[in-house]
């Protein structure tokens, strides 16, 4: 049976399509992704959050999680972030140094 996969978009307001950073799986942005990210910590949540932090533009990440959440999971997800880990570490540490984010 042929299964149609939702198209990709960079428009974070298009909840009926897949976010560009989920190019390899059919997860709609607002229904499925938000539900998975709002759920308890676990392998499925870690996988999606890690993929988003690795693949998405930083401004698009904030449509789904808060800076405090990124700070909380940064070290546990380090191995999933690859080359993007130093960027997120720099950002979070900078916000902490500026008093914008709690330690």
**Could you report the per-residue pLDDT of 42-73, keeping only the tens digit for each?**
998 999 999 999 999 999 999 889 999 999 99
Distance from C-alpha of 68 to C-alpha of 42, rounded to nearest angstrom: 18
* Per-domain residue ranges of the chain: 8-97
Mean pLDDT of 19-41: 79
28 bridge partner residues: 18
- The confidence score (pLDDT) of residue 70 equals 96
């Amino acid at each position: 049976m042929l299964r149609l996969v939702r198209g990709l978009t960079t428009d974070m307001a298009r909840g009926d399509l897949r976010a560009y950073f989920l190019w390899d799986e059919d997860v709609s942005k607002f229904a499925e992704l938000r539900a998975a990210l709002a759920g308890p910590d676990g392998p499925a949540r870690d996988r999606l959050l890690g993929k988003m932090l690795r693949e998405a533009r930083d401004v698009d990440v904030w449509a789904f999680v808060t800076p405090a959440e990124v700070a909380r999971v940064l070290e546990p997800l380090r191995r999933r972030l690859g080359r993007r880990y130093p960027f997120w570490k720099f950002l979070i540490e900078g916000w902490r140094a500026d008093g914008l984010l709690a330690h």
